[in-house]
């Protein structure tokens, strides 16, 4: 009867539950906010017992870390795609990273929220830390090319990277929190293009 159908549905999750749990978590966060995410709600949504997710995640934090890792992978792909579009100009490449970051935050708010709201200790190591380092390295390379061509001031490129990162991250944060003034059209990520390279041009003297 109905019970048989439920059982069939459950059987479907054999070997696939891990991905389903992540997807359901993202959906719940997206629809009802991070506070509404409970393991039990995930399990219920998937028609699975409340303890089933523990087969695939050691804890709720481990699930959040998996969502974050997925987010960082997506961000990485977004950056790569935008870099290809940018072509060879180093300033354009620098811009592309910021545009990709902003676009990612806008297009994947649930992932973005988890990536920076909850920061379990798992984030300091493993795939999340790797992705973070990789994005930093890409940006630094773009800045160094700008410096070589005389389009950014001399000095430690890391300072420029951090400044740009802080700017874009802060902007994404303010956007996410709805704290940007109405006339500030950040919905189109490309409108930021002109603002990001200001970090290449001035003000970055050593302290």
Partner DNA sequence: ACCTGAACACCGTTCAAGT
Block residue for tokens 């059987």: 11
Residues 52-111 contacting DNA, CB under 7 A: 52, 54-56, 58-61
Which two three-digit tokens encode residue 137? 């390295």
In 3D, which of 174, 197, 178, 175 has the Cα closest to residue 188?
175
Binding mask 137-176 for DNA (x = CB under 7 A): ----------------------------------------
Closest approach of its own copies to the CB of residue 188, in Å: 8
**Which burial class, exposed, middle or buried, applies to 75 when counting CB atoms under 10 A from its CB (0-12, 13-18, 19+)?**
buried
Longest dimension (CA), the chain: 74
Q: Which of 45, 73, 151, 159 binds its own copies (CB under 8 A)?
A: 159
Which two three-digit tokens encode residue 125? 């190591």
Q: Is 202 in the site for its own copies (CB under 8 A)?
A: yes
In 3D, which of 19, 35, 107, 28 has the Cα closest to residue 69?
19
Binding mask 169-188 for its own copies (x = CB under 8 A): xxx-xx--x-xxx-xxx---
The contact set with its own copies (CB under 8 A) reads 116-117, 119, 132, 136, 156, 158-159, 162-163, 165-171, 173-174, 177, 179-181, 183-185, 191-199, 201-205, 207
């Amino acid at each position: 009867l109905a019970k048989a159908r439920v059982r069939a549905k459950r059987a479907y999750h054999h070997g696939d539950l891990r991905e389903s749990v992540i997807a359901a978590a993202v959906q719940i966060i997206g629809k009802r906010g991070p506070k509404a995410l409970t393991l039990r709600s995930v399990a219920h949504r998937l028609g699975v017992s409340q303890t089933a997710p523990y087969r695939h995640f050691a804890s709720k934090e481990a699930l959040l870390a998996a969502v974050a890792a997925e987010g960082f992978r997506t961000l990485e792909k977004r950056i790569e795609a935008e870099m290809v579009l940018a072509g060879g100009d180093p300033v354009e490449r620098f811009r592309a990273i910021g545009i990709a970051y902003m676009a990612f935050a806008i297009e994947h708010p649930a992932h973005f929220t988890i990536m920076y709201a909850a920061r379990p200790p798992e984030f300091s190591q493993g795939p999340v830390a790797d992705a973070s380092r990789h994005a930093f390295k890409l940006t630094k390379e773009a800045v160094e090319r700008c410096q070589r061509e005389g389009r950014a001031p001399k000095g430690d490129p890391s300072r420029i990277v951090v400044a740009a990162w802080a700017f874009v991250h802060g902007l994404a944060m303010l956007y996410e929190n709805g704290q940007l003034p109405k006339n500030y059209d950040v919905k189109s990520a490309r409108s930021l293009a002109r603002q990001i390279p200001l970090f290449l041009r001035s003000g970055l003297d050593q302290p």
